[in-house]
A and B are shown apart, each in its own frame.
Chain A
Amino acid sequence: MNTKIGRRGALAMTGAAALAGTARAAAAPKEVEIALLVPLSGPWAEQGILERAGAEMAVDDVNKAGGIKSLGGAKLKLLIFDTGATVETAKDAAQRMIAQHPHLVGGMGCWLSTFTLAATEVTERAKLPWLTLSYADAITDRGFHYVFQTSATAKTQAEQTVPFVMKLAQGATHKRPTKVAIVGDNTAASVSFLKPIKAHILKQEKLTAVVDEIYTPPLADATTLVQPIRAANPDFVLVLSTNDGDDKMLADTFSEYGIPASKMPLIGNGGHWAVPELLKTTGAGILQDIMVGMANWPSKALAPLVARYIKRSGNPWMGQNEIFAYAHVQILAWALNKAKVANRLNVADAIRTMNITDGPAIYFPGHHLQFTSIGRRVGAALVIIQWQSGKPVTIFPASAAQAKAIWPV
C-alpha cells in the first residue's frame, strides 16, 4: 500500500503529535498534591504533629523510590493544614483547603472524630477521597462515598476491649469483674465508644457501671471525676479521654488518690495515650500498667521502618498516629499508581476497589486492605498496648503481642 502524505497532512500529524505530547504532559504532572488536615494547635496538637511526622516520612519514601511510576515519576507534594482547636476552625480549614487547592487528589485527617465529622462534610462535597484514622462510627454511617475509615470503629473497639479485659482479669484474679467505672469526654469518638457499652456490652458481660461521668475537654481538674471512683472501688476503670493533657491530669489524679493503674486497672482508648510527650509530662511510674485500646500499632515485621522513623524523628518509638499517616500516604500513592491519572475521582475509585495483601496493606494488622461499600476497612480490629517500664508494648492480639499483659492483683 502506497500512502502519500501531503504537506497539509504532515502538518496535521505533527500538530496531533504535539497535542498528544501536551496531553500526556498534562496527565503526568511533575507533582501531585495530597493534603494532611490535622490539629497542629490546641489540646490535640501533639496527635497532629505525630501524624505529620509519619506522613512526611512516607512522602519522602515514595519520592525517593521514584515517585508515582504510572505518572512518569511524578512526586508527591504534601500540603499541611491546621484544624485548630474547634469544630468551626476545622471546618474553615477544610473549606480553605478545597478552595485554594483545586488540584488536590486526596487527603487524610483530622485525628479527632469531631473534627473529621465536620471536615468530611466539605471534602465529600468536593469528591475528594479522604482517609481517616478517626474512630467514630458516624464518620462512615452517613452514606458518604469518598471517606475511607482505616481504623476499627469505636463500636468495634468497645466490643473487643471489654471482653479482653474481662478475660485478662479472670485469668489473673480467678474472679469475674462485676463493677466498672466509666469516665470520658463528650467528643464523638468517646460517645461512639460508650454507646454500645451502655446499650448491650455491660449487660452481656454482667457488669454494673458504678460511676459514669462525662466531661467537656480540656480538663481544669479531675478531682470530682476520680474521687467518686475511689469511693465506689470498681474492678476496673474505662478512661475515655481524647488528649494527652487530660490523660496526664487523670493519671496524676488517680495516683494522687492512691489508685494508680498498678493498683486499679485503667483502660484507656486512643493513640494519645501512647505518645512520647505523655511520658515526658507524666512520668513512667504514673503510667505503669495503663492499658490502651487503639486501631493500629507497628508490628514486629515493620521493625526496619520503625528504626528509620526513630532515627529520623528523634522520637523514642513509632505509634498509632505515625503509622496510620504513613500508611495513608502509601494508600494514596498506590491508588495514584493504579489510576494512572492525577484525578481525585479516579483515585477514589482505585481505593474503593482495592483488595490487596501487600503494598500499603502491610502497615495494618492482618495485612489486608479492602473497604466496604460504606468506606470501612474490612477486618479492621483492635490492638491493645500497655505501658510497661516507660514504654508502650503490644499485649493484644496475641499474634502481635510484644509482652505479656499485667493485671494488678
Chain B
Amino acid sequence: MFENILNAVAAGLIIGCLYGLMCIGLGLIFGIMKVVNFAQGEFLMLGMYISVYLVAGFAALGIFGPLVGPFVAAILAGPVLFAGGALLHRFLISHVSGLSTAARLDQGGYGQLIVTLGISLILQNGGLILFGSTPKSVLTPLSARAFILGPFPGNALLFLNQARVYACGVAIVVAVVLWLVMERTTLGKALRAAADNPVAATYMGIDVDRAYRIAFGLGAAITAIAGGLMATYLTFTPFVGLDYVIIMYSGVVLGGMGSILGAFWGGLTVGFVQQVSALILPPQLQNAAIFVVFLLIVGLRPEGLFGRSAERA
C-alpha cells in the first residue's frame, strides 16, 4: 500500500507541475486580463501539433534526436503561439477586451464569450482539416521508461516516468523564468500595472493595448509549451483541448484570480487530487474528485488559495 501511495503522490506532483504551467497560461489571460478565453484548450492542442511536426523535422534533419528533440520542440512551440496569440489579440480580442470596452455595461464579457468560442471552434475544425483526426503523439522512448528509486520502507519502489520527469523539469524552469520576467523586468511591471489599473497605467505612459497584446501572446505561448511537453506521453487529436480547458479554469480559480503563482499551485493541486484520489476512489471518479475539492476550497476560501496572499502578477 505504501508503494501505491508513494507512486500516486509522485505522479500527482509531476502531472500537477504540467497542469500548473498550463494554468499559468490561462492565468495570464483570464486571471489578469479578465478575458474569458474558451480557445485556451486549442492553444494547448496547437502546442502539441507544433511539437510533433518540429520533432519530425528534427528527425529529418538529424538533429537533437528522440531524447532531447521533443523538449526543444515543446519550447519552440512557445514563440510560434506567442506570435499567433499576439496577432489574435490585435485583430479580434482587443475589440472585446481592455480599455475599449471599459465603458460598456458588460465590459466586453458577452463579446469575449462569442469571439473566443468562435476561435475555439475554428481552431478545432481547422485542426481537423489540417492535421486529420488520426491520434498523434511525439515519439520518444522516454515515455515508456522510468527512473526507479528505492527500495523505501516496505521494499517500496518509486517509478518516475522519464518523459514526465523531464517535462516537469522544463515546466518548472519556464514557470520560474516567467515569474522572474513578471517580477523583475520593466515589461513585467508594465503588464502588472496594466492588469491592476489600466486607466492609471495609461496615465503613467504605459501602452495598455500593447501590454494586453503581450500578455495574451504570453498566455498562449505558455499553454502551448505545456501542450508540447504533455505530447511526449499523451496521444491527442484536434479536440484534445476540450479535455483540459475545464482543468485549466479550475486551476486558475482554485489558485486565485490574478496570481501567476496561484495559477501554478492551482494546477498542481488539480493534478495532485486527480492522481491521489484514485487511491481511495474508483479511477472513473478521478475528475469528479477534482470538482469536489474545487467546491470545498472555493466554498471555504472564495478568493482561491492565493487570491490575496500572493502578490498580483
Binding site for B on A (CB under 8 A): 40-43, 45-46, 48-49, 85, 186, 213-216, 218, 220-221, 223-225, 227-228, 231, 243-245, 248-249, 251-253, 255-258, 260, 277, 280-283, 286
For the complex, would chain A's binding face be called helix, strand, loop or mixed by DSSP majority? Answer: helix
CA distance A407 to B143 in the complex (A): 25
Listed by A's residue number, 7 A-B pairs whose Cβ atoms lie within 8 Å are: A45-B133, A45-B237, A215-B282, A216-B287, A253-B161, A281-B136, A283-B139
Which residue from chain A places its CB closest to the CB of B141 in the assembled complex? A283
Binding site for A on B (CB under 8 A): 3-4, 7-8, 11, 15, 128, 133-137, 139, 141, 143-146, 148, 159, 161, 233-239, 242-243, 274-275, 278-279, 282-284, 286-287
A281 in contact with B8 given A220-B234, A223-B275, A255-B144 (CB within 8 Å): no
In whole Å, how far is A210's beta carbon from the nearest beta carbon of chain B? Answer: 13
Which residue from chain A places its CB closest to the CB of B3 in the assembled complex? A231
Cβ-defined contact, A281 with B283, below 8 A: no
Cβ-defined contact, B159 with A257, below 8 A: yes
A248 in contact with B11 given A41-B128, A227-B159, A228-B4 (CB within 8 Å): no
Cβ-defined contact, A224 with B236, below 8 A: no
In whole Å, how far is A315's beta carbon from the nearest beta carbon of chain B? Answer: 11
In whole Å, how far is A278's beta carbon from the nearest beta carbon of chain B? Answer: 9
A227 in contact with B7 given A221-B15, A256-B146, A281-B139 (CB within 8 Å): yes
Partner of B283, one of A214, A218, A260: A214
Across-interface contacts of A244 in B (CB, < 8 A)? 135, 235
Cβ-defined contact, A41 with B239, below 8 A: yes
Across-interface contacts of B4 in A (CB, < 8 A)? 224, 227-228, 231
3 tightest A-B contacts by CB? A224-B278, A45-B133, A245-B235
Cβ-defined contact, B243 with A218, below 8 A: yes
Cβ-defined contact, A245 with B236, below 8 A: yes
Which residue from chain A places its CB closest to the CB of B15 in the assembled complex? A221
Across-interface contacts of B239 in A (CB, < 8 A)? 41-42, 85
Cβ-defined contact, A215 with B283, below 8 A: yes
Of B146, B278, B283, the most chain A CB neighbours within 10 A belong to B283
Which residue from chain B places its CB closest to the CB of A217 in the assembled complex? B284
Partner of B275, one of A216, A224, A249: A224
Cβ-defined contact, A41 with B144, below 8 A: no
CA distance A227 to B8 in the complex (A): 9
Cβ-defined contact, B236 with A252, below 8 A: no
A252 in contact with B143 given A224-B279, A244-B135, A245-B135 (CB within 8 Å): yes
Cβ-defined contact, B135 with A286, below 8 A: no
